Amino acid sequence: MNYAEEIRKLAAEKDALILVHNYEPAEIQDVADICGDSLELARKAKEASASTLVICGVYFMAETAKILSPEKTVLIPRPDAGCPLADQLTPEMVRAAKSAHPGAPFVVYVNSSAATKAECDITCTSANAADVVRSLESDTVLFGPDANLASWVREQVPEKTVITVPENGGCPIHHKVTVDEIERLRREFPNATVICHPECAPEVQKASDMIGSTGYMIRNCGEKQEWIIVTESGILHPLKKRYPETAFHGIEAVCDNMKLITLKDLYETLAEGKNEVVVEKETADRARKAIERMIEASA
Ligand code: 13P
């Protein structure tokens, strides 16, 4: 069977929109209606008119889509696609931090569960974290679970005190990138510009020329002829597709969760309408406030 063709036929028949994250396998990105970073996918999920959304990404992305569009059917081809970063911040940890710092708002990275978001004041993504923190009145802000993203926010918003919860949370894939690796690549490709994701450690951020979300990379990598791309390897596909004349050098970084979905999984999910995402109403209502506040703050 030609899965790609059958998926597109089924999507039309079932009034389904396929939203795919930039780290997903190339063949999944190629059958998408929309590919994007976390913020772009959340925005599109909110605006979409289709009655079904199929989210090809990790579970928190599908939860976010369901929270923003509770009337729609939201499917995820692999519900077991988790995010080890999201698991590092529980609702109990948010409540404890808030009672230790009364009055300080909690900014939660979208890489978190719906239950954790429900305890927080506002969400952020790597595309808008500094804008979100700047938009808050309080001088002290609680931020989690990514301490590397928090460190980048501190650089851009030095007037605020940003307290990380937990103290050292991080994405295992981005956190293991080293300055040695960047320096080795710079020696190999001396004319390349280095761009890293803000989930990388602060010393890797400092060793890079530019920092940004996956969407930022896709928008800005037309500016130069040669790049060293410091994030999950899936991003190379949309970059090469958009800028065929440009040279891209990646690093060894693969998120296994982002590579779980196959064309067969996607086909079966659409055909059978299976793997529906459910978020309990009270949790969804509270989490929605935090996500919508972010969308307003980064408009
Ligand atoms: P982006 O929002 O930059 O796409 O990042 C998502 C993510 O999960 C990074 O690990």
Ligand 1: centre distance to CA 281 (Å): 26
- pLDDT for the residue numbered 223: 87
For the chain, give percent helix, strand, coil, nearest 5.
45, 15, 40
Structure confidence at residue 96 (pLDDT): 98
Question: Closest ligand 1 atom to the C-alpha of 39?
Answer: 2
The pTM (predicted TM-score) of the whole model is 0.97
> Is the shortest distance between the CB of 148 and ligand 1 below 6 Å?
no
Inter-CA distances, 36 with 20, 21, 85, Å? 7, 5, 19
Q: Which two tokens mark 155? A: 């650089």
Question: From the CA of 102, how far away is ligand 1's center (Å)?
Answer: 30
Question: CA–CA separation, 257 vs 186, rounded Å?
Answer: 29
Nearest CA to ligand 1 atom 9: 199
Distance CA(147)–CA(242), nearest Å, equals 31
- Ligand 1 neighbourhood includes 22 CB (under 6 angstroms): yes
Give distance in angstroms: CA of 38 to centre of ligand 1.
Answer: 6
**Predicted local confidence at residue 159, as pLDDT:** 98
**How far is residue 45's CA from residue 31's CA, in Å, rounded to a whole number?**
17
Q: Is 30 exposed, middle or buried (0-12, 13-18, 19+ CB in 10 A)?
A: middle
pLDDT of residue 298: 85
pLDDT < 70: residue spans in the chain? 299
What is the biggest distance separating any 2 CA atoms in the chain, rounded to whole angstroms? 58
Residue 143: phi and psi, rounded to 5, are: -145, 130
The whole-number pLDDT of residue 29 equals 98
For the Cβ of 213 lying below 6 angstroms from any atom of ligand 1, the answer is yes
Distance (angstroms) between ligand 1 centre and the Cα of 277 equals: 20
- Domains in the chain, CATH or no CATH each: 3-81+258-280 (3.40.50.10800), 86-171+285-297 (3.40.50.10800), 177-252 (3.40.50.10800)
Q: HSE (CB half, 13 Å, CA atoms) of 64? A: 35
pLDDT at residue 283 in the model: 98
Q: Whose CA is nearest to atom 6 of ligand 1?
A: 38
37 lines ligand 1 (CB under 6 A): yes
Residue nearest to atom 4 of ligand 1 (CA): 37
Spacing, Cα 2 to ligand 1 middle (Å)? 30
Ligand 1 atom closest to Cα of residue 22 = 4
Cβ of 40 less than 6 Å from ligand 1: no
Q: Which two tokens stand for residue 119?
A: 């305890």
With contact defined as beta carbons under 8 Å apart, do 242 and 229 qualify?
no
**Dist. CA 280–CA 134, nearest whole Å:** 31
Our answer on whether the CB atom of 199 is closer than 6 Å to any ligand 1 atom is yes
**Is residue 126 in contact with ligand 1, taking CB distance under 6 Å?**
yes
